[in-house]
Amino acid sequence: MPEALSDFWYALSPTAQDALLFALLLAPAILLGLVVVAGYRPFALVRAMLWRFRWTSLLFILLIAVSVGIGVGLIAQERGLRQGTARAADKFDLIVTAPGSEVTMMLAAVYLQPSDVPLLSGRVFNDIAGSENVSLAAPIAFGDSFEGAPVIGTTAGFVTHLSSGALAEGRMFAEHEEAVAGARVPLAIGETFTPAHGVGPSAEEDGHQGHVYRIVGRMPASGTPWDRAILVPVESVWEVHGLASGHAPGSEARLGPPFDADYFPGTPAILVHADQLWANYALRSQFTTAETMAFFPGAVLASLHALLGDVRQVMSVMAVVTQVLVTAGVLTGLIILMRLFARRLALLRALGAPRRFVFAVVWSYAAFLIGAGALLGIAVGFAASAIISRIVTARTDILIRASLSWPEFQLVAGFVSLTVLLALVPAFLTLARPVVKDLRG
């Protein structure tokens, strides 16, 4: 790219760049249309053809629309999934766990996917909590559930952090038997429940009989798996499993840090939050040892999204190929359909209509079907992305807001330009038909 054009391009806003790229992708279709119909007015005849074979034309338009809509809807969904997973990890600056797979530990600690992982000791927790620049160190203890909702042991500081400083309803837990529910937990304030040991189909419903929690607060909706979680004091999670409470004898009733390392049963993960961004990098380096693994969930997601980026490119190519194949099928159908028009078109030519006029009529008819199908396909894409978003949100508990954007519009523009170019084929084949034979039928 020449330097002047490069400077012009980078001086544009992202929206202007997207709009200009959309226009450039659509320009070949517009220019081809201007060249084909130059000097003629085929639209009245095209309108008559559309009305004469309206149901057949509508079927072709719907085929193109479904192809375009599903293609752009899936691509938009992939972007929405990336954005949703990134939002779900926003509150998790730095996670410290035992050494192992960062992906596994991220899925367990951030997205609450059941996993058997090693525990960190009380000494490790106190080292982290007492480090300079650490404003919050919170244990995340999982393994129990209630009717599919994970029961997570942690501290009041973590609940406040996750709730951005304020609960939506009620108050913070202050006793061992109190709990704060996520926004989508089907328990009202004041209701009680007994946790099951384990998560999912293998959960033991009677594993913790006699231990009852009461809901005293509710977190605001976050669009993350934590909306389905129930948060309880970490001390109660240890106690319900017959372990120490994290505090020395005589002070077992207290909640939260500081914890006594000798009475700290262990925790699968520790959330670490620092007020300064640079401090998180120093802390990650400090706690990446033979005994602990510190990682940024956002960095792990970025590597996963890089893989998804390759998948997105493949999906984009597959979407274009699928749409072109569908359109090629439609154009093949148009070639057959032109036989229905053959006598009328041959009569036009016998009456002296220029070959280019007949060519413009056939191409304009095909181009209208493609353009109408593409426009309707955008509407189908909006509907498809909304429906798929609801399904994915319900299955993953991650709020997905997928909607068509410039990349999808650019894909449709490129598709239209390519397929109207292919529409030249039935127009050329129509001119190649013998006039006398078509007049005789």
pLDDT in the model for residue 351: 59
Beta bridge partners of 94: 272
Q: Worst-scoring range by mean pLDDT, 66-75, 114-123, 230-239?
A: 66-75
Bridge-based pairing state of the strands 196-197 and 269-274? unpaired
Reading the block at residue 50, the tokens are: 């559309």
Asked if 367 contacts 416 with a C-beta cutoff of 8 angstroms, the reply is no
Least confident of 52-56, 242-246, 248-252, 414-418: 248-252
What pLDDT, on a 0 to 100 scale, did the predictor assign at position 341? 65
Most confident of the ranges 145-149, 189-193, 194-198, 311-315 = 189-193
pLDDT tops 60 at residue 440? no
Mean pLDDT on 35-62: 86
Mean pLDDT of the chain: 84
Q: Is residue 179 classed as helix, strand or coil in its secondary structure?
A: strand
Calpha distance 431→415 (Å, rounded): 26
| Number of residues assigned to the chain | 441
Model pLDDT, residue 162: 93
Cβ neighbours of residue 369 under 8 Å, at least 6 residues apart? 57, 60, 61, 64, 330, 334
pLDDT of residue 8: 73
- What are the counts of helices (DSSP H) followed by strands (DSSP E) for the chain? 14, 11
Q: 249: number of CA atoms within 13 Å, CB side?
A: 0
Beta bridge partners of 145: 150, 196
Question: The tokens of 189 are what?
Answer: 């304030």
From residue 402, give the alpha-carbon distance in Å to each of 83, 301, 384. 9, 18, 10
Q: Which residues, at least 6 apart from 284, have a Cβ–Cβ distance to it below 8 Å?
A: 94, 294, 295, 296
374 close to 200: Cβ distance less than 8 angstroms: no
Nearest in space to 440 (alpha carbons), one of 350, 338, 335, 337: 350
Q: How far apart are CA 119 and CA 354, in angstroms?
A: 84
Farthest-apart Cα atoms in the chain, separation: 108
- CA 151 and chain centroid, separation: 26
pLDDT digits (tens, 9 = 90+) for 343-388: 666 666 665 567 788 788 888 988 999 999 999 999 998 998 888 8
Q: Which of 224, 230, 241 is nearest to 151 (CA)?
A: 230
Whether pLDDT at 102 is above 60: yes
Mean pLDDT over 120-146 rounds to: 91
* pLDDT bracket for residue 186 (50, 70, 90): very high
In degrees, to the nearest 5, what angle opens at C-alpha 439 toward C-alphas 433 and 441?
90
Between CA 22 and CA 308 the distance in angstroms is: 24
Q: Give 148 or 328, the one with higher predicted confidence.
A: 148
- Written as one letter, the residue type at 58 is L
Interval 414-427 mean pLDDT: 86
Say if CB 64 and CB 326 are below 8 A apart. Answer: yes
Contact 194, 212 (CB under 8 A): yes
- pLDDT for 310 equals 63
